[in-house]
Structure 1
Amino acid sequence: MTSTQLPVSVTLITLNEADRIADAILSVRDWVSEVVVIDSGSTDDTVQVAEALGARVLYNPWPGYGQQKRFAEDQATEDWILNIDADERILPELQQELQQLFQQPDRLAEGYHVAIHDRLYLTDRLSSYTPYNPVRLYRKSCGRYSDSPVHDRVIMQDGASTGQLKGRIAHDSLRSFSHRLDKMNAYTDAQARDMLNKGRKPSRIRMVIDFWISFISGYCFRGYWRGGLMGYIYAMNFAYSRFLRQIKLYELHQQAQNERADKS
């Protein structure tokens, strides 16, 4: 680590991200101690691209989102962790804020929330509002990712202090609409399974109204209306994902009931 680098390990988890991993690494590599990439078996050039950019790449079979991020934490050499996804970029405003923040280490909190804004597909525009404000910068001695296979969030220890950063992370979530649908299908499968395992039961009312409530929430309250046609598409996409997880929970619940009936 040089005098201009922060004592921070950036962690990323990857699977076939060769077309996006470079931008993520380049947004951080010059001002942090290390970049640690945990790959779960990419068949494209993800590993080669990451290594060429100076990242330390390790392989770990896919155990689920939370568990993979916990594995990444264990490989980091610094106590401070900055976790980003391969489709995210640290904006210059956030870099500058972090560099100023670490100039006064005695005033640091144990963790920091960072707002993550979608970059609207086929545009350079960031969404004006985001409900997604997770802890992404934290001391691993004071907080760790949960081991949930679906809900990958940092859980801080009782009494650990947290702050809010003003800088933002840009989220380039779409490669294409087809890619988005494939990703949504896989993720809602996992969500529905997780809901069933937690004892959640399907609701016919929610299957009917979730789409429309979610669309209104996304288009009006999340501010997607400001994004024109692309904002409308994002709101529809958000609503459809909420609808999918409800009908998939219903499907799994009915299948389980049918199996129990067949055995009785």
Structure 2
Amino acid sequence: MPKVPVSCFIVSKNEGDRIARTIRSVRPWVDEVVVIDSESSDDTVSIAVAEGCRVITQPWLGFGPQKRFGEDQCRNDWVLNLDADEVVTPELANEIIAMFAKGEPEYVAYGMAIEMVYPGDAAPRPLARDHWYIRLYNRRFARFRASPIHDTVETGSHPAGGFQAPVFHYSMRSFADMKRKLDERTWLLVQNSRLDSKFELTSRLFIELPMNFFKYYVVRRHCLGGLRGLRYASIQASYRFLKIYRIWRSAKSRAAGTRDQMA
């Protein structure tokens, strides 16, 4: 398979059970694979090295800063970012190879569909398209945001292109693992929230759960995932509600503390 002038960088921590699958989806056709490991305590590093990757240990800096650090470690300006639970499909690999075979790409950044795979499945549910993210880009013109809680590529005034084929996202080892990750992320969002309007928070307490259940079950078509799709949408909606509830409780506690100081 022909190599393209692209560096793939992967941010990892304790992903020894699944990072090899991610690496093998890109290793045959990218110029290099760089793994930025956040002090894993399992065999993530040894597996990545055995798969032919360059591994750099970097304590966690936050979502955006960690990925910006990864960009800086690559030897090519064109970079492809993957999470350690994502797999580039053969169809997407062929699209990328064909694009570079024609010369310099038309756009400075390219997005792709990210399709989630339920635990135990090999492929996504029908009509899955959970997210669309820019993951392949020229770092001279586009970079990840420096936000500690969001990992989004910013292209400035430059338009972005897109690919037809998806990345498969094996985000959950189990539904219990999904709840653990959502709970951790929810607390992180609470700690960095700027929501302090009592009216807005109270209003969202009533609409957050049904609104998000509709979004995940109908709009994102988890209704086509059978009972697991129903379970997935219910869990996502519950934790979206829990985030607002925790922010509301935090704002209420701050308001009570302010009143006590003024008394």
Q: Distance in 1 between matches of 2:94 and 2:120?
A: 27
The question of whether the paired residues in 2 share the 8 Å contact of 1:193 and 1:252 is answered with no
* Residue pair 1:13, 1:39 contacting (<8 A) in 2 also: yes
Check if 1:181 corresponds to 2:179: yes
TM-score norm. by structure 2 comes to 0.94
User: Is the CA contact 2:37–2:55 (under 8 Å) kept in the aligned structure 1?
Assistant: yes
Task: Write the deviation string for residues 160-186 of structure 1: whole angstroms up to 9, x where unpaired.
Answer: 231010110000011122211111111
Which amino acid is 2:179 matched to? L
Q: Is the 8 A contact 1:114 1:169 kept in 2?
A: yes
The 2-side partners of 1:258 and 1:41 are apart by 40
One-letter amino acid of the counterpart of residue 79, structure 1: D
**Which amino acid counterpart does residue 64 of structure 1 have in structure 2?**
G
Instruction: State how far apart, in whole Å, the 1-side matches of 2:108 and 2:159 are.
Output: 5
CA contact (8 A) 2:116 2:130 kept: no
* Inter-CA distance 200–25: structure 2 relative to 1 (3 Å threshold): farther
Q: How does 1:235-254 map to 2 (within 5 A)?
A: 235-254=233-252
Report 1:65-76 matches (<5 A).
65-76=63-74
Q: CA deviation at 1:131?
A: 4.4
Greater displacement, 119-128 / 222-231:
119-128
Partner amino acid, structure 2, of 1:8: V
Tell me the percent identity.
36
Q: Is the 8 A contact 1:6 1:31 kept in 2?
A: yes
Shift of 1:190: 1.1
Whether 2:146 is the aligned partner of 1:147: answer: yes
> Which ranges of 4 or more aligned residues in structure 1 deviate by more than 4 Å?
198-202
Q: How does 1:193-204 map to 2 (within 5 A)?
A: 193-196=191-194, 203-204=201-202
What is aligned with 2:168?
170
2:48 to 50, 73, 77: 50
Provide the rounded CA distance (Å) in 2 between the counterparts of 1:154 and 1:125.
Answer: 26
Contact 2:12 2:37 in 1 (8 A): yes
Structure 2, unaligned stretches of length 5 or more? Answer: none
Aligned twin of 2:133: 134
Q: 1:141-170: per-residue Cα shift (whole Å, max 9, x none)? A: 010000111111000132x23101011000
Deviations 1:35-76 (A, max 9, x none): 111111111111111111011111111111011000000101
> Which range moves more in the overlay, 185-194 or 80-89?
185-194
TM-score using structure 1 length: 0.93
Q: Which runs of 5+ in 1 are unaligned?
A: none
Secondary structure in structure 2 of the residue aligned to 1:81: strand
Matched, 1:63 2:58: no
Give the structure 2 partner of residue 255 of structure 1: 253
Contact 1:15 1:42 in 2 (8 A): yes
